[in-house]
Amino acid sequence: MCQRVEFPMPSNSFSFSLANRQWDLLADGVHHNLFIFDKDLMELDEKERVLSRVLPSIHHVNDTTMVIAYTRGPLLFLFNFHPTESYEGYRVGVEEAGEYQLILNTDEITYGGQGLVKDHQYLRKTISKRVDGLRSCLEVTLPSRTAQVYKLTRILRI
Q: Write phi, then psi, for 79 (nearest 5 degrees).
A: -130, 125
pTM over 0.75: yes
With respect to residue 23, please indicate whether it lies within any of the assigned structural domains: no
Assign residue 80 the CATH number of its domain. Answer: 2.60.40.1180
The secondary structure of residue 78, as a DSSP letter, is E
- Indicate whether 127 belongs to any domain: yes
Number of domains in the chain: 1
- Full DSSP string of 82-96: -SS--EEEEEEEESS
Cβ–Cβ under 8 Å, residues 96 and 136: yes
Is the residue at 12 inside a domain?
Answer: no
pLDDT tens track of the chain, all 158 residues?
455 556 777 877 777 776 666 666 667 767 788 888 889 999 999 998 988 888 888 999 999 999 999 999 899 999 999 999 999 999 999 999 999 999 999 999 999 999 999 888 889 999 999 999 999 999 999 999 999 999 999 888 76
